[in-house]
Structure 1
């Protein structure tokens, strides 16, 4: 069952970066599809494969829109994508993962450094992107690889 999550945030109510917001930690403001948004790192940690190796998922190759990628992954049967959506969040896209890494580099959030973290951006039928939060490397791995995922939430700013 999907948790009922906050749907928007008022600009005047945004906390400082690194402070609590909407069930997580406020990472930064950014623009997505012409809308200014607040990116929030959720406390949950998921683990598992990205999806089925050798299967290209239509709609899961956006560099910036992690929610659209995650929905496409879930529709194709990805267990970690479904879990992220059930939490009221999504697996970060490449862009969102890099914004989370910037917040870590600024000392605003803590992230595990001992495992790679899945991103929702697909590279091909066989590969998907990941981020290494130890040093910020963005790379690609087999979709069958067991990695962590730290869901985020992206709220429109009003």
Structure 2
């Protein structure tokens, strides 16, 4: 992760949901691995395959920890994961994708509705999860299919 990217913030310094923060838009507060965090949706968007069809990526099975999943994906050679990490960000997990959907439903963020977005949570050697932000569908697709990616950041709250 780029060391110049903000990695923590005082809870008292958080803006309102839907306002700018750390190079993106503040989505919500949430708990992950015993730490309260702030989820930030970046404006960057790209597309590509999740990874190699038929290859299970060890360490990419978390339903909640998108950063851990993305790091495992990058170690396995996933170009979208490498691209997200180069931005000082990661591909959201299923949980983090659903938090983005909740912010979209509340009118706080804008996310493309004309295609599926990859999530970093792997379902099997063949499939990984994706989200359709038109109405919030969570589904899975073949890892070698091209889908959109909208990276996020997670800041530890102090």
TM-score by length of 1: 0.98
Correspondence for 2:90: 90
**How many residue pairs were aligned?**
158
Correspondence for 1:133: 133
- Unaligned runs of at least 5 residues, structure 2: none
Correspondence for 1:25: 25
Cα deviations across residues 110-139 of structure 1 (Å, max 9, x unaligned)? Answer: 010000000000000000000000010000
Asked if the contact 1:3–1:87 (Cα under 8 Å) also holds between the matched residues in 2, the reply is no
The runs of 4+ residues in structure 1 deviating greater than 6 Å are: none
**Following the alignment from structure 2 to structure 1, what is the Cα–Cα distance between the partners of residues 102 and 140?**
19
**Following the alignment from structure 2 to structure 1, what is the Cα–Cα distance between the partners of residues 150 and 20?**
16
SS in 1 for 2:58: coil
The structural deviation recorded for 1:2 is 3.8
Correspondence for 2:80: 80
The structural deviation recorded for 1:46 is 1.5
**CA RMSD in angstroms, aligned pairs only:** 1.0
Correspondence for 1:12: 12
1 or 2, which has the higher strand percentage?
2
Residues 1:142 and 2:142 are matched in the alignment: yes
Residues 1:124 and 2:124 are matched in the alignment: yes
**Following the alignment from structure 1 to structure 2, what is the Cα–Cα distance between the partners of residues 128 and 40?**
22
**Following the alignment from structure 1 to structure 2, what is the Cα–Cα distance between the partners of residues 10 and 89?**
19
The structural deviation recorded for 1:4 is 2.2
Asked if the contact 1:53–1:144 (Cα under 8 Å) also holds between the matched residues in 2, the reply is yes
Mapping for residues 47-126 of structure 1, pairs under 5 Å: 47-126=47-126
TM-score by length of 2: 0.98
**Following the alignment from structure 1 to structure 2, what is the Cα–Cα distance between the partners of residues 43 and 130?**
18
Cα deviations across residues 45-77 of structure 1 (Å, max 9, x unaligned)? Answer: 010000000000000000000000000000000
